[in-house]
Structure 1
Amino acid sequence: MDEKVKELIAIGAAVACNCHPCVKFHTDKARKMNIDQELVKQALDVGKMVRKGAAGQMDELLEKEII
């Protein structure tokens, strides 16, 4: 796996775990590596999708526990 792919994965993971400093660090690093901004956007979108899935499951768990 090349360094650009690793950086894109790091961006998505940072978004998925809500790590603000990590998102800033890795998106800045991606710019310095001249990674296409469309690929960065796709990595951000994947991270958001993963985060949303996890948050949705938490919401479901909370609903079950409250009722």
Structure 2
Amino acid sequence: MKLDDRIMELIAIGASITANCQPCLEYHTGKAKEYGADEQEIQDAIQVGKTVRRGAAAKMDKYAASFNVSGLNNEGADKGCGCSLS
């Protein structure tokens, strides 16, 4: 089954919210409207993204609270994580 363009853009809207990417949200909202998505569908996609982001953040907060720095073996530390801090 191939997803149509409207559905793909609604998925991208939810992913934009989850990734905290404002330019992505604006772009994909415009594209979703072009492909016939209505206001309610866009709001639903935004809500799904917020729910996923909230769940992921809660899991990370729980992980960070019990994070054992002294037990770290630094495997993969030289590969980096992809953020632009360094």
Output the TM-score relative to the length of structure 2.
Answer: 0.69
Per-residue CA distance 1:19-66 (angstroms, 9 max, x = gap): 111011111222333311000000000000111111001110111127
Q: Tell me which of the two structures has the higher relative contact order, counting C-alpha pairs closer than 8 angstroms and 6 or more residues apart.
A: 1
Query: Where does 1:1-67 land on structure 2 (aligned, <5 Å)?
Result: 1-65=3-67
- Length, aligned pairs only: 66
RMSD over aligned Cα atoms: 1.4
- Aligned partners of 1:40, 1:56: CA distance in 2, in Å? 24
Q: Between the two proteins, what is the percent identity of the paired residues?
A: 42
- Aligned partners of 2:67, 2:5: CA distance in 1, in Å? 43
Larger Rg, first or second structure (1 or 2): 2
Q: Which runs of 5+ in 2 are unaligned?
A: 69-86
Q: Which runs of 5+ in 1 are unaligned?
A: none
Q: Going by fraction, where is helix more abundant, 1 or 2?
A: 1
Give secondary structure in 1 for the equivalent of 2:20: coil
- Aligned partners of 1:29, 1:9: CA distance in 2, in Å? 12
**Contact in 1 for aligned 2:13/2:29 (Cα 8 Å):** yes
